[in-house]
Structure formats: structure tokens, C-alpha cells
Amino acid sequence: MNIVEDNVEILNVVFDIMDGDKVVEERKLGYPLEITQKDIKADLSKFLKSYLRDIEIGEATKRSEELNKNANEIKENLEGTEIKNV
């Protein structure tokens, strides 16, 4: 337990997000003392789903940026190119 600035005691929960045996992120959350274990588990489940969704969005964004970069390079390389019928 810790006491926060407004003198309210909270339950500190520290958890790791794992990828196999590797810790990829450590998080710390605070809950009111009257919270139930079931509520904490539900909240952590929501947090994990949100975390995984953010990872997916980040990967999709990175892939999109790579595709756009490639398309721009192709466009720049083709600008001014004459195609002749052989």
C-alpha cells in the first residue's frame, strides 16, 4: 500500500507484460483498497487487450509507412521516364 498526495491509501499493482520469457514492459497501477480481485483481473485484461491493439496499430502504421516510402521511391524513379514501344 502507498499513500498518494490526497492522503488516500491505494493498492499498488505492478505487473509485467511478457513475450515468452522476456519482459517487454512493466506497468504500475493503483487501485482503491475496496476493489476486488475480480475487478483487478478484469481491468488488467482490458489493459492487456488495449496494449496488444496498440502494438497491432503500430505495426500496421509502420508497414503502411514502408509501403508509402517504397511507392514514393518508385514514383520518383519513374518521373520523366519515356517508355518506347519496341
* pLDDT higher than 70, residue 20: yes
Please tell me the total count of domains within the chain.
1
Residue 84 inside a domain? The answer is: no
**Given this model, what pLDDT does residue 26 score?**
93
Q: CB-based contacts of 54: which residues, under 8 Å, 6+ apart?
A: none
Residue 83 inside a domain? The answer is: no
Residue 59 inside a domain? The answer is: yes
Q: What is the largest CA-CA distance in the chain?
A: 83
Q: What proportion of the chain, given as a percentage, has pLDDT over 70?
A: 92
Residue 86 inside a domain? The answer is: no
**Given this model, what pLDDT does residue 85 score?**
83
Q: How far apart are CA 46 and CA 43, in angstroms?
A: 5
pLDDT band per the 50, 70, 90 thresholds, residue 8: confident
* pLDDT higher than 60, residue 75: yes
Range of the domain at 50: 2-78
**Given this model, what pLDDT does residue 36 score?**
95
The residue among 35, 4, 34, 1 whose CA lies nearest residue 14 is: 1
pLDDT band per the 50, 70, 90 thresholds, residue 4: low
